[in-house]
């Protein structure tokens, strides 16, 4: 049995499949509801330039570090550090990563569940049923405080993740990434077509892109760094896990570059789909829950085929969330199959159930448990804050320092497998040694004050 299990560690079927799965992890709610607004509010094209620099100088090197740690060890994040530097305490970085993954999955599933609910409700006429300007707000508030509904949708979304991950890396994650990512792109193009053909859409484009270099200051640069880091799903071992299924012929530099490029492209395109329509319908730009569940439904309500548009949008968002949730679940599953020797089916069900249970308080924090708060934040807020602002940056620093300083000579040989770009290796090395750890440490420090 033991040797059997070793032999069944899968590989990706193709480089494309790997890149789409990794891009699926990176492209999530953040690309749709956060990036476009941050772009528009912080200098448009000027912010975009800063953001792209952060992606290239900080995000890409850490992503490369994760992938090479994964491929070099062929293990889950916990086992990877143990295999590469036995006897050291570096496994802690992987262990914290996995715990971080559980917490992110728990609350990510909650909003993903809402999104799924909005998809079903759009299909059955939610938006065309709006009667006045406050309809979307009322519908949102009564929905998120309805504990039973929210938990049911949380459950349904968790089941979707199980169905994909239980089918394995190639037959589940990769196969679905190859179906879902092109679908997401197509949906985005459809919505862009609608948005840009509305009268007055130019105002939205101006909001998004009009360059304002005077807005670029230290805070904005920090925000760009933080957004780049979060958007690329770094700091907890998703890319370690996905990298562990890579073969030695895959070029890590170009793969990471493609993933980051797709992530930035979709984030910008999401803005082009959203804000021209928001401005054309005379609504105020915003981000997060307000944009997604209140402003956009009202925008759709004012347009012909409102329920169709709304359904397309929430389908897009469900797909974006699902491919990210899958990657989080896979981190836990790879840990359980590698270290606890569980079968994939068992690992998937138990880990998803665990994340579901941990997610219930977050789900209830918008309703019956809204009074339970720490520093003014409910369960959901605390889980989000701690992971995004503390645990992920800590993990990112650990990963960069490990790859740059602790691992030693082996890393050069490993990362050059499939690429042989020595100059790039040195650029990468000095980023993970100095630039990336300092930058991520700044994010960590300044998010506290």
* Interface residue list for ligand TRP (CB under 6 A): 25-26, 28-31, 104, 230-231, 233, 236, 238, 324, 327-328
Phi, psi of 246 (to 5 degrees): -85, 150
Measured from the CB atom, the residue of 97 and 418 that comes closer to ligand TRP is: 97
Q: How far is the CB of 412 from ligand TRP (least distance, A)?
A: 27
Q: How far is the CB of 414 from ligand TRP (least distance, A)?
A: 23
- Report CA-CA distances (Å) from 307 to 32, 195, 243, 291, 298: 19, 15, 40, 17, 11
Q: By beta-carbon distance, which residue lies closest to ligand TRP?
A: 28
Measured from the CB atom, the residue of 198 and 236 that comes closer to ligand TRP is: 236
Measured from the CB atom, the residue of 111 and 277 that comes closer to ligand TRP is: 111
Q: How far is the CB of 330 from ligand TRP (least distance, A)?
A: 9
CB half-sphere exposure, 251, CA atoms < 13 A: 12
Which among 306, 283, 256, 293 has a CA at the least distance from the CA of 71? 256
User: Which residues 6+ apart lie within 8 Å of 220 measured at CB?
Assistant: 42, 43, 47, 50
Buried b (16+ CB within 10 A) or exposed e, 241-277: bbbbbbeeebbbbebbbbbbbbbbebbbbbbbbbbbb
Measured from the CB atom, the residue of 231 and 294 that comes closer to ligand TRP is: 231
End-to-end alpha-carbon separation of the chain, Å?
52
Measured from the CB atom, the residue of 331 and 403 that comes closer to ligand TRP is: 331
Q: How far is the CB of 104 from ligand TRP (least distance, A)?
A: 6
Which among 243, 263, 408, 276 has a CA at the least distance from the CA of 323? 263
Q: How far is the CB of 393 from ligand TRP (least distance, A)?
A: 11
Q: Are 356 and 158 in contact (CB under 8 A)?
A: yes
Rounded to the nearest 10 degrees, what angle do helices 392-401 and 60-73 cross at?
70
Measured from the CB atom, the residue of 41 and 384 that comes closer to ligand TRP is: 384
Q: How far is the CB of 70 from ligand TRP (least distance, A)?
A: 14
Q: Which two three-digit tokens encode residue 346?
A: 């068992």
Q: Where does residue 76 rank: exposed (0-12), middle (13-18), buried (19+ CB within 10 A)?
A: buried
CA-based R_g, the chain, Å: 21
- Report CA-CA distances (Å) from 203 to 191, 277, 281, 313, 448: 17, 9, 11, 21, 35
Which among 19, 27, 21, 16 has a CA at the least distance from the CA of 187? 27
Q: How far is the CB of 280 from ligand TRP (least distance, A)?
A: 26
Q: Which two three-digit tokens encode residue 342?
A: 């569980």
Phi, psi of 352 (to 5 degrees): -65, -40
Measured from the CB atom, the residue of 41 and 307 that comes closer to ligand TRP is: 41
- CB count in 10 Å sphere of residue 290: 16
Q: How far is the CB of 391 from ligand TRP (least distance, A)?
A: 10
Q: Which two three-digit tokens encode residue 271?
A: 């803005």
Euclidean distance between CA atoms 174 and 19, whole angstroms: 9
Q: How far is the CB of 423 from ligand TRP (least distance, A)?
A: 29
Tell me the H-state helices in 8-146.
15-26, 29-33, 35-41, 45-54, 60-73, 77-84, 91-123, 135-144
Rounded to the nearest 10 degrees, what angle do helices 252-280 and 60-73 cross at?
130
Q: How far is the CB of 323 from ligand TRP (least distance, A)?
A: 9
Measured from the CB atom, the residue of 311 and 323 that comes closer to ligand TRP is: 323
Measured from the CB atom, the residue of 31 and 76 that comes closer to ligand TRP is: 31
Q: How far is the CB of 226 from ligand TRP (least distance, A)?
A: 11
Measured from the CB atom, the residue of 236 and 312 that comes closer to ligand TRP is: 236
Measured from the CB atom, the residue of 238 and 269 that comes closer to ligand TRP is: 238
Q: How far is the CB of 348 from ligand TRP (least distance, A)?
A: 16
Measured from the CB atom, the residue of 100 and 310 that comes closer to ligand TRP is: 100
């Amino acid at each position: 049995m033991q040797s059997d299990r070793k032999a069944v560690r899968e590989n990706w079927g193709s480089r494309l499949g790997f890149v789409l799965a990794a891009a699926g992890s990176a492209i999530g709610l953040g690309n749709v509801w956060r990036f476009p607004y941050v772009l528009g509010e912080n200098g448009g094209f000027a912010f975009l330039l800063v953001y792209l620099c952060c992606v290239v100088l900080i995000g890409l090197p850490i992503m490369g570090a994760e992938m090479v740690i994964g491929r070099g060890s062929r293990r889950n994040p916990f086992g990877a550090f143990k295999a590469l530097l036995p006897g050291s305490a570096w496994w802690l970085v992987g262990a914290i990563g996995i715990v971080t993954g559980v917490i992110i999955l728990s609350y990510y599933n909650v909003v993903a569940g809402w999104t799924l609910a909005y998809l079903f409700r759009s299909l059955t006429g939610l938006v065309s049923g709006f009667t006045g300007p406050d309809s979307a707000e009322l519908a949102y508030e009564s929905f998120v405080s309805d504990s039973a509904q929210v938990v049911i949708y949380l459950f349904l979304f968790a089941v979707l993740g199980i169905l994909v991950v239980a089918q394995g890396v190639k037959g589940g994650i990769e196969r679905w990434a190859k179906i879902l990512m092109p679908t997401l792109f197509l949906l985005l193009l459809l919505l862009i077509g609608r948005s840009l053909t509305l009268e007055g859409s130019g105002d939205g484009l101006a909001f998004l892109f009009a360059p304002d270099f005077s807005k670029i200051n230290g805070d904005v640069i920090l925000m760009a760094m933080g957004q780049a880091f979060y958007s690329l799903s770094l700091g907890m071992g998703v890319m370690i896990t996905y990298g562990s299924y890579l073969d030695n012929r895959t070029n890590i530099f170009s793969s990471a570059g493609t993933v980051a490029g797709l992530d930035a492209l979709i984030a910008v395109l999401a803005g082009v789909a959203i804000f021209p329509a928001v401005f054309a319908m005379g609504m105020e730009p915003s981000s997060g829950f307000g944009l997604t569940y209140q402003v956009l439904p009202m925008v759709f309500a004012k347009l012909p085929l409102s329920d169709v548009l709304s359904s397309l949008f929430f389908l897009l968002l469900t797909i974006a969330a699902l491919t990210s949730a899958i990657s989080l679940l896979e981190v836990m599953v790879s840990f359980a199959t590698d270290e606890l020797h569980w079968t994939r089916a068992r690992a998937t069900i138990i880990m998803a159930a665990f994340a579901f249970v941990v997610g219930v308080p977050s789900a209830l924090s918008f309703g019956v448990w809204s009074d339970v708060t720490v520093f003014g934040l409910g369960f959901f807020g605390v889980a989000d804050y701690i992971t995004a602002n503390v645990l992920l940056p800590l993990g990112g620093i650990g990963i960069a320092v490990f790859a740059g300083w602790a691992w030693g000579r082996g890393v050069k040989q490993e990362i050059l497998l499939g690429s042989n770009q020595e100059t790039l290796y040195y650029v990468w090395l000095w980023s993970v040694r100095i630039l990336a750890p300092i930058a991520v440490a700044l994010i960590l420090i300044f998010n506290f004050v």
